Amino acid sequence: MNNVNKTLILIMFLCCLNLFAQDNGNKEYELLLLEIEMYGSYLDLSNTSEEMIKLAAEYEKQGDYDLATAFLEEALNELKSSAQKDSGPAVSVSDYIFSGNIISGIDYNRQEFELGFEQSDSVLLDELSKPFVGFEIKYASADDLFRIENAFRYDQENLRNELFVKNSYEGKNYNFDTRLGGLLDRNFEYSDLGYYEAFAELGIKSNYNDPAWYWQFKNKSRLKKYKQPSLTIPDFFRNSFSSYVVRNFNNNNSMQFDYTMDLNESLKYINNDFLEHNAGVSYQNISLSALKIKLASRYRYFNFNYQLSDSAFENTSNTISFNPDLVYDFNSSLGLNLDYNVDIKDFTIKTEQEPDYTYHNVNPSFIIHFTDLSSVNIGFVYENKKHVVQKNLVTQYIRDQDYHSSGLTAGFDYSTLNGTLLSINAEYRQRRYPNSENEADFSIYSNRNILSLLVYGQIPLYENISLNIIGSYDNDKDIDSDFNDTISSFYTMELKYAF
């Protein structure tokens, strides 16, 4: 096997591992989104909540799960606050509430990578089953302005403990929040990967006295230090600043401006550093009874570096995005959502690995509400990515990366007021690379059929005991080769006792 083919195999395998790592990072985002959907099934989403959910989706698409989950957490906190206001008489603020959860369950994941060359093939199998136990303890004031939380989890590979203190001040015109804490992770199998992390979060936001304006500024700093840092896993400092301003002209029209700055700086080494500026503006109109229109545009500046051979490679990208969104309700039971997105990305240094491109994605879908707490959505998705060929670069290698995909999406959501929740989502895509001329058995740019399934269930068994189930399945099949398929599955089952 020559060096080129060995390199292709290595790149393919690393890409598969990277995709699995992204799935793990995406887990928290998906769970928060499902919890928001549960609250949204019986509570009306405010314009502010909808804008934060949209922002979270933007960062999730870029793979920045830290900022994506931060915006979802803010939207969820607002929904919970609305639910508490509607739940009944207030409790004396002098009271403090002690609560907690005892958790036990199992994590299971399995990955298959089919590899082959010159009439030979093999399957790389990675399978792991991890029982775990843990507990969560919370001590908070009745008005939730002061809170101490500790979360502990233990399994055969890791011991993890997170502790934080949150304190809030509610003024006449604004609210101020602080959150300080630390996280300890001990890895029993690879001790060098153990780390501790300290974080501090400061935020200020307007209250809801003035319905015409809403604003928020938040800054989070993190310092992460590994037991044995190296070039590939360096210690780092990360600082994320986010802000947005919502202007409600009336009950039917609003405009939002948002800006984030994200800085990641490795300590002692130069690898995986980046600086991001991300700014957007959007306008929403719901003046018509059945029609909601949203127009959004965004600019992203991203300077980054990574280790390449024996030196660090640095580059900068600029991305302009447009995202018109239309929602039309035919009646109380049937609605149409039409979402379109286009990204235009330009790199300062042109390379075959990171060429400039234009990306289009359109996703029309119908949603059918059987009741206020159950619904089905069915949709179509199409995407197209076209790269720009530059001078002094290998033309065919860049053209190989062009692709288009089409497929179907479907989902089912069911919830009850007693806390039962079931969500099932499926997506099937046929991705085609029309310009690819790679005849090797291993190719990153080969025609593929991709099936993805995600299941989440929350079932109260008794008054204080609930069962949580999360499962995902991905089947990425190469239709041009028998030796280039990837199958991964993951599920976790958790039994929780609340006290």
The full DSSP string for 114-149 is EEEETTEEEEEEEEEEEEEEEEEEEEEETTSSEEEE
The answer to whether residue 136 scores a pLDDT higher than 90 is yes
**From 5-9, 68-72, 343-347, 360-364, the region with the lowest mean pLDDT:** 5-9
The answer to whether residue 160 scores a pLDDT higher than 70 is yes
d(CA 479, CA 391): 32
Q: Give the pLDDT mean for 401-425.
A: 92
- Statement to judge: residues 46 and 188 lie in one domain: no
The answer to whether residue 7 scores a pLDDT higher than 50 is no
Residues found in the chain: 499
- Statement to judge: residues 77 and 192 lie in one domain: no
- Helix (H) or strand (E) holding 328, with range, is strand 325-329
The answer to whether residue 10 scores a pLDDT higher than 60 is no
170: in domain: yes
Please give the single-letter amino acid code of residue 489.
S
- Statement to judge: residues 45 and 182 lie in one domain: no
386: in domain: no
Chain mean pLDDT for the chain: 83
The pLDDT assigned to 6 comes to 36
Residue 188's domain comprises 157-282+301-317
Q: Give the pLDDT mean for 417-434.
A: 92
| Helix, strand or coil, per DSSP, at residue 7 | helix
For the chain, give the percent of residues with pLDDT over 70.
Answer: 80
Please give the single-letter amino acid code of residue 141.
S
The answer to whether residue 381 scores a pLDDT higher than 80 is yes
Whether the Cβ atoms of residue 211 and residue 182 lie closer than 8 Å to each other = no
Q: Are strands 403-415 and 421-432 parallel, antiparallel or unpaired?
A: antiparallel
Among 59, 86, 113, the domain-final residue is 86
Please give the tally of structural domains in the chain.
2
The pLDDT assigned to 446 comes to 87
392: in domain: no
- Statement to judge: residues 69 and 212 lie in one domain: no
Quick one: pLDDT band at residue 12, thresholds 50, 70, 90?
Answer: very low
Cα within 13 Å of Cα(416), Cβ side: 7
Q: Give the pLDDT mean for 122-133.
A: 80
Q: Give the pLDDT mean for 26-38.
A: 65
The answer to whether residue 352 scores a pLDDT higher than 70 is yes
The answer to whether residue 66 scores a pLDDT higher than 70 is no
34: in domain: yes
The pLDDT assigned to 8 comes to 34
- Helix (H) or strand (E) holding 275, with range, is strand 274-285
149: in domain: no
68: in domain: yes
Q: Which two tokens stand for residue 120?
A: 């030979």
Taking phi over 0 as left and psi of -120 to 50 as alpha, with beta for the rest, 36 belongs to alpha
Among 267, 293, 317, the domain-final residue is 317
The pLDDT assigned to 395 comes to 87
For the chain, give the percent of residues with pLDDT over 90.
Answer: 50
Residue by residue, DSSP assigns 57-126 as HHHHHTT-HHHHHHHHHHHHHHHHHHHHHTSSSPPPTT-EEEEEEEEEEEEEEEEEEEEEETTEEEEEEE
b/e sequence 156-181, b meaning 16+ C-beta within 10 Å: eebebbbebebebeeeeeebebebeb
Q: Give the pLDDT mean for 137-165.
A: 93
Quick one: pLDDT band at residue 176, thresholds 50, 70, 90?
Answer: very high
5: in domain: yes
The pLDDT tens digits of the residues spanning 271-318 come to 889 999 999 999 988 777 788 899 999 999 999 998 877 788 899 999
The answer to whether residue 91 scores a pLDDT higher than 60 is no
Spatial neighbors of 10 by CB under 8 A, at least 6 apart, are none
Among 293, 317, 341, the domain-final residue is 317
- Statement to judge: residues 78 and 169 lie in one domain: no
Residue by residue, DSSP assigns 142-201 as TTSSEEEEEEEEEESSEEEEEEEEEEEEE-SSEEEEEEEEEEEEEESSSGGG-EEEEEEE
Q: What radius of gyration, in Å, describes the C-alpha atoms of the chain?
A: 24
The pLDDT tens digits of the residues spanning 225-260 come to 999 998 888 999 999 999 989 888 876 788 999 999
The pLDDT tens digits of the residues spanning 321-342 come to 999 999 999 998 999 999 999 9
Closest CA to 361 of 378, 344, 336: 344
The pLDDT assigned to 46 comes to 61
- Statement to judge: residues 227 and 82 lie in one domain: no
Q: Which two tokens stand for residue 365?
A: 């879908």
The pLDDT assigned to 127 comes to 76
Query: How far is CA 491 from its chain centroid?
Result: 18
68-76 LR contacts (CB < 8 Å, sep 24+):
68/29, 69/28, 69/29, 69/32, 70/218, 70/220, 70/240, 70/242, 71/242, 72/29, 72/32, 72/33, 72/36, 73/32, 74/216, 75/36, 75/48, 75/49, 76/32, 76/35, 76/36, 76/39
The pLDDT assigned to 1 comes to 42
- Statement to judge: residues 61 and 196 lie in one domain: no
- Statement to judge: residues 168 and 79 lie in one domain: no
476: in domain: no
The pLDDT assigned to 56 comes to 72
The pLDDT tens digits of the residues spanning 178-217 come to 999 999 999 998 889 999 999 999 999 998 777 788 899 9
The answer to whether residue 490 scores a pLDDT higher than 70 is yes
